[in-house]
Amino acid sequence: MPSRARPESPLESFSCTSERHSASGQVARKTAKTDRPRPDAHVWYADGDIVIIAQETVFRVHKSVVARHSKALECMFQPISWGGQADLTNTFDGLPTVRVTDTAYDFKHFLLVVYDGFPRDKDPHTVVDFGVFAAWLRIGHRYRVPSFVIEGLRGFRSIFPMDLDTWDKHRFDGKFLHPRVVFDNTNAIEAVNAIRLAGKVHLLPGALYMCAQLRPSTLLAGTTRADGTPEKLGAADLLLCFEMKERLRKAEARIAVQWAAQDHVESRCKNFGDHCDRTRHELLKEACRNIHNNLRGDPLHGGVITRLHEVDDGWQLCSHCHDAMTWEVRGLRRALWNKLPVYAGVEADIRNWGKSTQGY
Ligand SMILES: [Zn+2]
């Protein structure tokens, strides 16, 4: 069993000034002599035989344990003279070093799973932060580790499902609330970038919808990852978000007008139409009273359509009219949901939109 222990003299022996290429083809950042890489407090095995450096963090691990998960990493662990990236000259504690271009946060969450397994396997109730799912997805994609891609996507699917029922199940007033997944709406920017990187376009409609709900100032300035890495949308995705917002605003207004224009009286109405029809118009008036707020381009939460969905709250409708109206509103929301791949520009690339998929 590998043993974890703090190093005795970790810093003095390290100096790396060379420039190398990572598995992804990116150029590794040149490390200045003043950089002081620090051993990670958790991923440091005293009997490890290689040192991996990500940003300013150093991980001491076992080549054979890590390489078992990824052929790409196995190749990187070969000495430079053999075509790999293990530097036998600039050692750390006498061990060969490999510098990766990933963030320390991402690589640490990869290594933690390499040694300890996925949290869900040990305890199905473990709460996982979105940033960890994103790290698994990025690392899994870069080093071609299918299990990490699958687990990362499992978390993403919980947040950005393909079906409206799952979307509704974990949202309250536009906020994502899940017993085992922590996600803030501003994480949607990082999500879009990770989804683009991994090429999982079926997650884009939901992620772009969430981005479209952020303030333009937030979209333009970007956000930061859990480890402080800045995240911004690319110009094309930024434009897509603004266009999507515009289309959502228009769709919301169009649907409200369509709903109002239907002079529909439920044939089985217990009040013979009269009272229920009046209530229906009152309901629409109420939804339109604060039109600025209710037509804010967020028709799935809190807009006119959702207000109409709140028909339960004290509105005096007979049970038949109530059921008919609930179905009607549900149909309007579903029709809008079905349009999201079009708004996200990926309708040609997605099959089975609307189908329930298993998340976290
Ligand atoms: Zn009625």
Ligand 1 centroid from CA 242, angstroms: 41
Same domain, 1 and 24: yes
For residue 317, pLDDT beyond 90: no
Ligand 1 centroid from CA 312, angstroms: 14
Residue 16 within any structural domain of the chain:
yes
Q: Residue 265's pLDDT band (boundaries 50, 70, 90)? A: low
Least confident range from 134-138, 216-220, 253-257, 330-334: namely 253-257
Q: Residue 18's pLDDT band (boundaries 50, 70, 90)? A: very low
For residue 162, pLDDT beyond 90: yes
d(CA 256, CA 203): 27
Ligand 1 centroid from CA 289, angstroms: 23
Same domain, 218 and 256: no
Same domain, 124 and 224: yes
Q: What is the DSSP string of 289-343?
A: HTHHHHTSS-TTTTSHHHHHHTTTTT----HHHHHHHHHHHHHHHHHHHHHHHHH
d(CA 64, CA 102): 20
Same domain, 172 and 133: yes
Residue 271 within any structural domain of the chain:
yes
How many other C-beta atoms are found inside a 10 Å radius of the C-beta of residue 333? 21
Chain-centre distance of CA 329, in angstroms? 28
d(CA 189, CA 225): 9
For residue 5, pLDDT beyond 60: no
**Residues around the ion ligand 1 (C-beta < 5 A):** 269, 271, 276, 318, 321
Least confident range from 137-146, 209-218, 245-254, 318-327: namely 318-327
Ligand 1 centroid from CA 269, angstroms: 4
Q: Residue 16's pLDDT band (boundaries 50, 70, 90)? A: very low
Same domain, 233 and 118: yes
Residue 348 within any structural domain of the chain:
no
Alpha helices in 54-180 (DSSP H): 63-67, 71-76, 104-116, 119-122, 130-142, 146-159, 164-169
The average pLDDT across 265-279 equals 77
Chain-centre distance of CA 111, in angstroms? 21
Ligand 1 centroid from CA 284, angstroms: 16
The CA–CA distances, whole Å, from 28 to 67, 77, 107, 227, 237 equal 20, 16, 15, 19, 27
Q: Residue 274's pLDDT band (boundaries 50, 70, 90)? A: confident
H or E element in which residue 224 lies = strand 223-224
pLDDT score of 30: 38
Q: What residues pair up with 51 in beta bridges, in sequence order?
A: 60, 97
For residue 179, pLDDT beyond 80: yes
Model pLDDT for residues 31-74, shown as the tens digit of each residue: 344 457 899 999 999 999 999 999 999 999 999 999 999 999 99
pLDDT score of 283: 75
Query: Residue 248: what residue type?
Result: L
Same domain, 98 and 123: no
Per the structure, the count of domains in the chain is 3
Ligand 1 centroid from CA 322, angstroms: 7
Residue 94 within any structural domain of the chain:
yes
Same domain, 153 and 187: yes
Same domain, 174 and 267: no
Residue 350 within any structural domain of the chain:
no
Same domain, 194 and 263: no
Ligand 1 centroid from CA 311, angstroms: 13
Nearest CA to 73 out of 130, 9, 24 is that of 24
User: What residues make up the domain containing 98?
Assistant: 1-102
Q: Residue 300's pLDDT band (boundaries 50, 70, 90)? A: confident
Same domain, 96 and 158: no
Q: Residue 231's pLDDT band (boundaries 50, 70, 90)? A: very high
